[in-house]
Amino acid sequence: MTYGLITKFLARPGERDALTDCLLLAAERMPRASGCVHYLISTSDEPEAVWVSEVWVDQAAHDASLKSEDVMALIGRARPLIASVAEQIPLAVLGGKGLPT
Amino acid sequence: MTYGLITKFLARPGERDALTDCLLLAAERMPRASGCVHYLISTSDEPEAVWVSEVWVDQAAHDASLKSEDVMALIGRARPLIASVAEQIPLAVLGGKGLPT
């Protein structure tokens, strides 16, 4: 089953842009991690909120990416910029427009 | 700015699968609506929850789609299956993996 994950981070005050830059860099590195379909970085009206919308071919691919040196290094850089993980919703992606055919 | 929208519907009891079928059909019709980049249908652990993750080239394209006959007809079919819109988060999509290059 295609695996989705919506994460809402709250950046430390004044660190939202540094966090989005860091996560956009992580998105660039994703192609080397096999199985990553979407890794989108967004903001919302809430000042410190940063949203990451992920889609992976399956949960195993997602979990394996967290063990890759690249991603672990990026997470290490992002962690000091994060005040909290406000929401994290694992999803079973049934289908729709925007998935590789 | 690329526009994103995360919507969490709660289906009426027993209607989740009918709702996901309806929304998957809406996703199929999206290509005719210009500007739709992603329209993904997902479920989560919460029994009646149905999540729609949308990305549009901009908010105008999204808003225009809601006026198209196709989409209005599909929304009309889905509405009786929906108990509530539990969450709806408009997003400014900054970038990442999975957007058309």
Task: Report pLDDT digits (tens) over B38-95.
Answer: 999 999 999 999 999 999 999 999 999 888 888 888 888 999 999 999 999 999 999 9
| pLDDT attached to residue B69 | 84
Nearest chain B residue to A39 by CA: give it. B97
The minimum CA-CA distance between B31 and chain A, rounded to whole Å, is: 8
**Could you say which DSSP state residue A12 is in?**
P
How far is the CA of B98 from the CAs of A2, A25, B1, B10, B19, in angstroms?
A: 14, 14, 16, 27, 26
Residue A36 forms part of a structural domain: yes
Residue A60 forms part of a structural domain: yes
CATH number, domain of A77, equals 3.30.70.100
Closest CA to B99 of B62, B64, B63, B54: B54
Residue A98 forms part of a structural domain: no
Domain count, chain B: 1
Range(s) of the domain holding residue B19? 3-92
A12 Cα distance to chain centroid = 17
Residue A100 forms part of a structural domain: no
> For residue B100, what pLDDT band results from cuts at 50, 70 and 90?
confident
Mean pLDDT by 10 residues, chain A (101 residues): 97 97 89 82 97 96 88 88 97 94 75
| pLDDT attached to residue B33 | 57
In this complex, is the C-beta atom of B65 within 8 Å of any C-beta atom belonging to chain A? Answer: no
Give the CA angle between residues B51, B43, B87 to the nearest 5°: 30
Residue B100 forms part of a structural domain: no
Residue A101 forms part of a structural domain: no
Find chain B residues with C-beta within 8 A of A45's C-beta.
90
| pLDDT attached to residue B31 | 61
Nearest to A97 among B39, B94, B95 (CB): B39
Find chain B residues with C-beta within 8 A of A40's C-beta.
4, 55, 93, 95-99
Residue B13 forms part of a structural domain: yes
Find chain B residues with C-beta within 8 A of A43's C-beta.
91-92, 94
Residue B97 forms part of a structural domain: no
| pLDDT attached to residue A33 | 56
Structure tokens at B78: 């889905």
Contact A43 B6 (CB under 8 A): no
Helix (H, G, I), strand (E, B) or coil at A97: strand
CB A91 within 8 A of CB A62: no
| pLDDT attached to residue A53 | 98
| pLDDT attached to residue B32 | 62
Nearest to A98 among B39, B89, B92 (CB): B39
